[in-house]
């Protein structure tokens, strides 16, 4: 586990470098991987209680990647904490019989709690798991669910939000990666989500709003989570930039997913390192 801010910032940079390296070889969901990379680094490498040697441990925190297309950033963080070798991830990504792909699959990868890819299901599943943990008397574990802001237009998200509040699932923590873009346009033009924090607040949730690229704020948000025995579920609304750190990807819907050319890779690597130093 990394505890220092400087270590976390360095780890986040390494994750971004690895994402870009993969994106020069294969098509990945680079836009939404980069927007959530800082939050995911802090979640996996600082916050979550998770033993890579024992992914079935009852006392573990549970993680559900509801925006299932951000599988690469998840797997790279899992590799960083020792779930499997990073070399194996690179070698097996999007190959026949490989454990890693554009979406996470539990059938082939034991470090995946729930297979995802079809948006809008993670919060309901997470609420169910959180309720089960409470019933079993588990007062230690939390359930973390990472969603996209575009994903919020799935009605099932709000059924789960209402349910989690009613059943006082304080052990449930949702994180919404608010990058303002979906796969083919802005949220403003497609769904009009508006103030997502206000909506969760209206559903009885504890709401934390952060800049999802400032490691200080991300760490503070995790540090200030109420205990799993609290009554209200918590949502961390992370304001982010899709394609963060790479000028030709930032806010560009064409980079929801894709593969870079050699020239693009060179530029992206230079920019991501410069941004980390700034
Ligand atoms: C139920 C469902 N509908 C459509 C899709 C296709 N799809 C994949 S990613 C995506 C955009 C999601 O936007 P957002 O949740 O904001 O993700 P991000 O921008 O963070 O990548 C869509 C529509 C899907 N995977 N599942």
The number of the ligand 1 atom at minimal distance from the alpha carbon of 181 is 19
Question: Can you give the pLDDT at residue 191?
Answer: 86
171-204 pLDDT per residue, tens: 999 999 999 999 999 999 998 889 999 999 999 9
Pocket test for ligand 1, best of 40, 183, 257 (most atoms within 8 A of CB): 183
* CATH code 3.40.350.10 for 5-277: no
Among the ranges given (79-88, 93-102, 264-273), the one the predictor scored with the smallest mean pLDDT: 93-102
Tokens encoding 183: 């796969």
Residue with the smallest CA separation from ligand 1 atom 7 is 183
Cα 13 to Cα 150: distance, rounded to the nearest angstrom: 25
Q: Give the model confidence (pLDDT) of 84-113 as tens digits.
A: 999 999 999 999 999 999 999 999 999 999
Give the domain ranges of the chain. Answer: 5-277
Cα angle 60, 65, 71 (rounded to 5 degrees) comes to 110
**Which residue has a Cα nearest atom 9 of ligand 1?**
183
137-158 pLDDT, tens digit each: 999 999 999 999 999 999 999 9
3 Cβ contact list (under 8 Å, min separation 6):
46
Class of residue 94 by CB neighbours under 10 A (exposed 0-12, middle 13-18, buried 19+)? middle
C-alpha dihedral (196, 199, 204, 205), degrees to nearest 10: 0
Q: Residues lining ligand 1, judged by CB closer than 6 Å?
A: 29, 31-32, 35, 67, 69, 117-120, 148-151, 177, 179, 181-183, 242
Q: How many CB atoms lie within 10 A of CB 128?
A: 16
């Amino acid at each position: 586990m990394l505890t220092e801010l400087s270590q976390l910032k360095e780890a986040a940079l390494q994750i971004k470098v690895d994402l870009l390296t993969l994106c020069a070889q294969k098509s990945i969901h680079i836009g939404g991987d980069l927007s959530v990379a800082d939050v995911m680094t802090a979640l996996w490498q600082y916050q979550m209680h998770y033993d890579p040697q024992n992914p079935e441990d009852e006392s573990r925190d549970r993680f559900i990647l509801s925006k299932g297309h951000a599988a690469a950033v998840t797997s790279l963080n899992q590799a960083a904490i020792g779930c499997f070798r990073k070399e194996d991830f690179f070698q097996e990504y999007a190959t026949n019989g490989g454990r890693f792909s554009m979406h996470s699959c539990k059938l082939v990868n034991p470090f995946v709690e729930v297979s995802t890819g079809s948006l809008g299901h993670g919060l309901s599943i997470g609420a169910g798991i959180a309720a089960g943990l409470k019933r079993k008397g588990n007062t230690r574990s939390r359930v973390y669910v990472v969603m996209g802001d575009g994903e919020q237009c799935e009605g099932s998200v709000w059924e789960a939000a209402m349910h989690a509040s009613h059943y006082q699932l304080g052990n449930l923590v949702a994180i919404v990666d608010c990058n303002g873009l979906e796969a083919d346009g802005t949220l403003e033009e497609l769904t009009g989500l508006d103030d997502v924090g206000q909506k969760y607040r209206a559903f009885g949730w504890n709401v934390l709003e952060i800049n999802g690229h400032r490691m200080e704020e991300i760490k503070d948000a995790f540090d200030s989570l109420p205990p799993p025995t609290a009554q209200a579920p918590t949502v961390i609304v992370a304001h982010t930039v899709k394609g963060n750190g790479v000028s030709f990807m930032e806010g560009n819907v064409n980079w929801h997913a894709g593969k870079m050319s050699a020239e693009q890779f060179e530029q992206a690597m230079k920019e991501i390192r410069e941004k980390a130093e700034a």
